[in-house]
Structure 1
Amino acid sequence: MAEATAQDLDPFTAVESLREALHQVGVVLPSLAVDPASPSLRLVELGRVRADVALRLARALQQGSPTT
């Protein structure tokens, strides 16, 4: 399956998909939203998080990464 480009994706769908995936690993990004200032760029605002949340996110990403 080919990876979609930013122009092919609905940013609201991307935000909800990311929110659900983060929820499954116990991470909440309170500021996660579509950036309304740049609709043509379809940017997603991740926002700021506490250090403990950043660490949980890093660990979740590391656990999901294939080992080499």
Structure 2
Amino acid sequence: MGMAERSPAAGRIRDAEQARDELRAALKDEGITLPSLGLDIVSLAGDFPRPLVDLGRCTPDLARRIAASLRKAAP
């Protein structure tokens, strides 16, 4: 596969990385850290990757803190 053919795939991966970074920053503003926040490796495989942001795992307490932040921000 040539470089020109990979360009759209690279753009999708960059977009997913940016979304991950935006989410990490927003969570940090709320005092929340998801240690395993990253890109799903499997979704990056293949000739036409469809990158997914993997939120990872967290404790029940942290899940409740995230839920409370979302409720607070809801209109």
Deviation at 1:32, TM superposition (A): 0.3
Give the structure with the higher percent helix: 2
The 2-side partners of 1:55 and 1:12 are apart by 25
Runs of 4+ that moved beyond 2 A = none
Specify every segment of 5 or more residues in structure 1 that has no aligned partner in the other structure, as ranges. Answer: 1-6
Aligned CA RMSD, in angstroms, stands at: 1.3
Larger Rg: 2
2:33 is equivalent to residue 33 of structure 1: no
Match of 1:60 among 46, 56, 69: 69
Specify every segment of 5 or more residues in structure 2 that has no aligned partner in the other structure, as ranges. Answer: 1-11
Give the structure-1-normalised TM-score.
0.80
Residues matched between the structures, number? 59
